[in-house]
Structure 1
């Protein structure tokens, strides 16, 4: 039952936000009493933390599987982007910012884990791209890893990138192309153009 509660709550939180979804909403969605939820979770904060941590671990494992496929580094980033979008329901209510506002301790913890994971993945991606000569050989990989993380978080700010003007999927595509065009070699540029053209068909 705990797994069903967590999965249902996660779905609702991502669709409608951490603030607006109540324990009653979750109970009604499953068709159980609120008391049943409280037998598994002492309060909503505990449930939110379990949902967030489980989602992070699930997505982290999925990203590791994509990296393990040993695609070229440019294709790898597009596969990761596609995977993340499919698991976050396009972040319709910007859950990251709701988490930061209403559950700051959980946000701080998950943000630290997310940064460490992404930093490691981007550094590895850059290293392999340079080795394969599809990224420029004079890159400052530490700068690139940090600016990539910073940019990815910034485009989620709906005060800057309003969703009605910048749909999440298109925004992610634009950001990824922006990132890659700054680091690819002439050889990598050809690969990038092929991927972009194939995605537009």
Structure 2
């Protein structure tokens, strides 16, 4: 098993996973990842995570994350997420973040690793990454979980997922109010 997935399992960082397993010759994960644990309220009960990377789609080899896309509720959650998983990021990886409180997009470098952050308004990470990669949702519906992740990964490797170059500090200046619209009964 990948060191990344071992780390997640050993530290109980998976939150509501929907897939963990092979993605071709690599390994993948879909679900959420805990960045900061929730408060332990009794020996067998814990509150939901304080900070999490939601809607994660991840592909990793034996040592590193080769691809990660996820939702962050705030760009302020980026630094804690990076610190928690920093040993698994690599300059060769592809990392696409969808952030609900950004007022603009950008590609920035942090600790020698490139990340691209996009505003997430109302959609899901899955829909956004498919749109970014120009993949047809209908074609993917026929595939199983492993094949869907593999199709996204195969496409992202040959695609340009970057946006306008910015510094990390310039990205921090784009933090505003959450732009995500709550959906449901009114």
TM tier, shorter chain? under 0.3
TM-score by length of 1: 0.25
TM-score by length of 2: 0.26
Higher relative contact order (CA 8 A, sep 6+): 1
Q: Which has the larger strand fraction? A: 2
Q: Please say which structure displays the higher CA radius of gyration.
A: 1
Q: Which has the larger helix fraction? A: 1
